[in-house]
Amino acid sequence: MIAVVDYHKGNLKSVERGLIGVGADARITDDPDVIRKARAIVLPGVGAFTDAANAMRELNQMDLLRVRIAEGVPFLGICLGLHLLCAGGEEHAQGKPTPGLGVIPGIVKALPKVDADGNAYKIPHVGWNSIEIKLQGSPLLKGIEDGEHFYFTHSYVAPDSFATIATTTHSMTFPSVVQWRQSCFGVQFHPEKSSDAGAQVLRNFVEFAHEV
């Protein structure tokens, strides 16, 4: 069973149905016991970093997810779910960044409204953008071509790190796919809203979860 972690910030049905649509036994849950026993974990993205991180702490999910990721459970963070893998985030933070799961070093920051040359960009970054694959061979990107388009909607981005395996460019180039060790992944785009290419990413994750 794949646990779709619910931290009470919005509708997760499209993620659950996206996983079921590619053959997974997926279930939305906020129950630490269910998350503890799940074969794989998906952390979807709804809301803002600070609100989500606080809710996850109150629901006793934060430490549990840290343990499960360290154990090597197949894990996929989507959008804000990728951000939450990082050490901290500035979105809605009071003063210093709100702590995240700390799997990936660095702080999640707002996308700049102008690029390095001073050109203006529309923020939030909403719509279909392409990914540039930096590191071939990730099981998550099996069958995905360099330059494939996915649906993005966000105003904040994860920091570049050793975990970056694909990037996307808007007002700056940011990590759009990350992988930590063998089995922990994050995507900035929404695979559940990205038509066939998105379904391929979800299928890859589900197949990976059943192989390990």
Partner 1 sequence: MLTKRVIPCMDVTDGRVVKGVNFVNLRDAGDPIELAQRYDEQKADEVIFLDITATSDDRATTVELASRASEELHLPYTVGGGFRSVADIRRMIAAGADKVSVNSAAVKDPTLITQAAEAFGTQAIIVAIDAKQRADNPNKWEVYLAGGRTPTGIDAVEWAAEAAKRGAGEILLTSMDRDGTRDGFDCALTRAVARAVDIPVIASGGVGKLEHFAEGIIDGEADAVLAASVFHFGELTIRQVKEYMRSQGIPVRL
Cα distance from N-terminal residue to C-terminal residue, the chain: 13
CA distance 4 to 34: 10
Helix (H, G, I), strand (E, B) or coil at 178: strand
Largest CA distance in the chain: 50
Q: Which tokens hold the place of 84? A: 């939450």
CA distances from residue 49 to 33, 72, 91, 124 in whole angstroms, order as listed: 24, 24, 5, 15
Out of 16, 83, 190, 207, which one is annotated catalytic?
A: 190
Q: Does 110 bind partner 1 (CB under 8 A)?
A: no
| Binding residue (CB under 8 A) for partner 1 from 3, 6, 18, 178 | 18
* 79 belongs to the catalytic site: yes
Q: Residue 56, CB half-sphere, CA atoms under 13 Å: how many? A: 28
* 190 belongs to the catalytic site: yes
Residues 171-190 that bind partner 1 (CB under 8 A): 190
| Interface segment toward partner 1; rule CB under 8 A; list 24-32, 66-74, 97-105, 128-136 | 128-136
* 192 belongs to the catalytic site: yes
Q: Does 8 bind partner 1 (CB under 8 A)?
A: no
**β 104-110/86-89 pair status:** parallel
Q: Does 10 bind partner 1 (CB under 8 A)?
A: yes
Q: Does 161 bind partner 1 (CB under 8 A)?
A: no
What is the closest distance, in whole angstroms, from the C-beta atom of residue 85 to partner 1 in the complex? 21
- Contact residues toward partner 1 (CB under 8 A) are 10-11, 13-14, 17-18, 21, 113, 120, 122, 124-130, 149, 151, 153-155, 169-170, 190, 192-196, 198-199
